[in-house]
Amino acid sequence: MIETENILTNSLAQALETMAFLTIMPPEDDMAAPEQIVLAEISFSGPKSGTIQILAGLDFCRILAENISALTEVSDETCYDALKELSNVTSGLLLPILACSQEDVFDITIPTIKNGDDSPKWNEFVEQPNTCILNIEGYMVATRLIMKN
């Protein structure tokens, strides 16, 4: 059995630190769930198949985009692109851990975004199995790695 929460959290932490200078911090009890949420998804297939999901508030996505781009004013579209890129980099760090050998090859989808009415509700998402809620510099972010085989 693969420890999906640990490998996803470790890969995400490395991606955040490298590309956006953000750190996963210890959880806090009094953190509020984000209001405007955005879901980034990226799927992969090969020796192992699955989907990486990152659910975050638009406020977090804005900080992420500002840190990646070094801009102080970013559009919502830029925020969505930043979350997609975070899912992409995270998958790039995670897949070598899932590989059984150096010859393993994975096919990866283009990251997608769901927001507004398309996005799942925060409570529904975090109640699902294998969901990990993280504190990223004061912002609640939920992640999940869904393995298909």
d(CA 83, CA 50): 18
Domain ranges of the chain: 4-142
pLDDT of the residue at 118:
75
pLDDT tens for 80-139 read 999 999 999 999 999 999 998 888 999 999 999 998 877 789 999 999 988 999 999 999
What pTM was estimated for this model as a whole? 0.93
Contact predicate 92/46, CB 8 Å: no
31 has a pLDDT exceeding 60:
yes
pLDDT of the residue at 35:
87
1 has a pLDDT exceeding 80:
no
φ and ψ at residue 51, rounded to 5 degrees: -140, 135
Average pLDDT of the chain to the nearest whole number: 92
75 burial (CB, 10 Å; 0-12 / 13-18 / 19+) is exposed
Q: Is 72 helix (H, G, I), strand (E, B) or coil?
A: coil
In CATH terms, the fold of domain 4-142 is Chemotaxis protein chec (3.40.1550)
7 has a pLDDT exceeding 80:
yes
Percent of the chain topping pLDDT 90: 77
79 has a pLDDT exceeding 80:
yes
